[in-house]
Amino acid sequence: MKKRKICVVVTARPSYSRIKTALAAIQNHVGLELQLVVAASALLDRYGSAVNYIENDGFKIAAKVFNVLEGENLTAAAKTTGLGILELSTVFDNLKPDIVVTVADRFETMATAISAAYMNIPLAHIQGGEVTGNIDEKVRHAITKLADIHLVSTIKARDRVIKLGEDPAKVIVTGCPSIDIAQEVLNSSALDFDPYKKYGGVGNVHDLSKGYIVVMQHPVTTRYSESRQHIEQTLEAIGEVGLPTLWFWPNVDAGADGTSKGIRAFREFQSEKAVNIHFFKNMEPIDFLKLLKNSLGIVGNSSVGVRECSFLGIPAVNIGNRQVGREQGGNVIDVDYNKEAIKMAIKQQIEHGHYSSNTTYGEGNSGKQIADTLCVVELGIEKILSY
């Protein structure tokens, strides 16, 4: 039997973490051949060079696509997507995949979806049917309408995709591959590496054995001008809480410069308020999860707080509307962009301590389920709304 060629396009560091076990399962599957395309910010040093981790993890890259436009406005996000379509359509033309896989809902994943759909290549979408604030919300559901196969994380997500008019036979709950990695650290007892030594970063070094906080806060694109103010509220809250903190640099996004500038300015001019914070650019997914597993909790607006941390039982303080509507597993306190509210929620979570594990987003075998599904799912590109 001829192997199905599965072309997966990875465009960013967090998307890689989210798809990694599926990549491995596809690569090792007897009926599948992996064609891995690495594009956009996944190639850029400023955003953590996911490409290096990908290569270190032993994946062979079929094509690299540089398409991130530099700029301080939303125009750059649109242009990055346009350029992505130009390039990815050439890539697909050369690779001739049987299925293209696009991950989640970052703006540039739309380029993958359009190139595949317009070229009559069956499109599989991972993590459709979820609900969040932000432009991601529009992107995610628009991709659902372009996609032919939907590999969703939760039962509720499946319901939504079907309500959006998709054929129930093509909407499969596989869970989220990010939970597969979390599964590996679920029962680990202590941090088995020194984050300062292994990953460098900037800022003071602290004794992490007495407890520490992890922060990851991305700009929210539809509120461009406010991103600097938002980040300052969190910076001040964390500074005043005073616990050792490991802070991770944000993704590329419109608004990114507001956020980045806020952080830089804080370090430069208010460094006395930031003595407890150490800043990192990136970390291998598995190490990042170990770090979370051993932390007091996570603060910010990353989906990790809602997804992986619900499985791991780690307290999360979720700021602002970026995760609005995303299913939660009981470990999250939602707060506004407000220093006092953030501080209070952190204290409340530390008092509570770790939660019990929740399997809403998967049970740890999603990568394999995705690969198995891609091998057997009926392929087709024609669909029609039935209501």
Shorter beta-carbon distance to a copy of itself: residue 256 or 298:
256
Nearest distance, CB of residue 371 and a copy of itself, angstroms: 25
Give the pairing type, strands 316-319 and 4-10: unpaired
Q: How many CB atoms lie within 10 A of CB 118?
A: 12
Please, which of residues 107-166 interact with a copy of itself by CB under 8 A?
107, 110-111, 114-115, 117-120, 131-133, 135, 137-139, 141-146, 159-160, 163-165
Q: Is 382 one of the binding residues for a copy of itself (CB under 8 A)?
A: yes
Helices (H), 186-317: 195-199, 227-241, 256-269, 285-293, 303-306, 308-312
Rounded to a whole number of angstroms, the CA Rg of the chain reads: 20
Shorter beta-carbon distance to a copy of itself: residue 250 or 367:
250
Helix axes 109-118, 135-146, angle to 10 degrees: 20
Shorter beta-carbon distance to a copy of itself: residue 146 or 191:
146
CA-to-CA dists, residue 308 to 170, 326, 355, angstroms = 26, 13, 12
Nearest distance, CB of residue 281 and a copy of itself, angstroms: 12
Nearest distance, CB of residue 330 and a copy of itself, angstroms: 21
Quick note: the x/- pattern for a copy of itself over 64-93, rule CB under 8 A, is xxxxxxxxxxxxxxxx-xxxxxxxxxx-xx
Of residues 11, 48, 18, 106, the one with CA closest to residue 249: 48
Residue 170 near residue 148, CB atoms below 8 Å? yes
Please, which of residues 169-198 interact with a copy of itself by CB under 8 A?
none
Of residues 68, 284, 271, the one with CA closest to residue 292: 284
> For the chain, how far is it from start to end, CA to CA, in angstroms?
38
Shorter beta-carbon distance to a copy of itself: residue 221 or 294:
221
Residue from the set 3, 60, 94, 188 that interacts with a copy of itself by CB under 8 A: 94
The helix (H) or strand (E) run that includes residue 313 is none
Nearest distance, CB of residue 76 and a copy of itself, angstroms: 6
Shorter beta-carbon distance to a copy of itself: residue 165 or 211:
165
Shorter beta-carbon distance to a copy of itself: residue 188 or 202:
202
Nearest distance, CB of residue 141 and a copy of itself, angstroms: 4
Q: How many CB atoms lie within 10 A of CB 341?
A: 17
Residue 362 near residue 176, CB atoms below 8 Å? yes
Please, which of residues 307-336 interact with a copy of itself by CB under 8 A?
324-325
Of residues 288, 267, 285, 290, the one with CA closest to residue 277: 267
Q: Is 243 one of the binding residues for a copy of itself (CB under 8 A)?
A: no
Nearest distance, CB of residue 174 and a copy of itself, angstroms: 20
Give the burial class of 146: count Cβ atoms within 10 A of its Cβ; 0-12 exposed, 13-18 middle, 19 or more buried.
middle
CA 299 to CA 183: how far, in whole Å?
21
Nearest distance, CB of residue 129 and a copy of itself, angstroms: 9
Please, which of residues 203-232 interact with a copy of itself by CB under 8 A?
221-222, 224
Shorter beta-carbon distance to a copy of itself: residue 7 or 22:
7
Nearest distance, CB of residue 39 and a copy of itself, angstroms: 10
Shorter beta-carbon distance to a copy of itself: residue 108 or 372:
108
Nearest distance, CB of residue 147 and a copy of itself, angstroms: 9
Q: Is 281 one of the binding residues for a copy of itself (CB under 8 A)?
A: no
Shorter beta-carbon distance to a copy of itself: residue 119 or 341:
119
Please, which of residues 247-266 interact with a copy of itself by CB under 8 A?
252, 257
Size of the site for a copy of itself (CB under 8 A): 76
Q: Which two tokens stand for residue 22?
A: 């599926």
CA 364 to CA 169: how far, in whole Å?
23
Nearest distance, CB of residue 93 and a copy of itself, angstroms: 5
Please, which of residues 31-60 interact with a copy of itself by CB under 8 A?
43-46
DSSP-assigned beta bridge partners for residue 123: 100
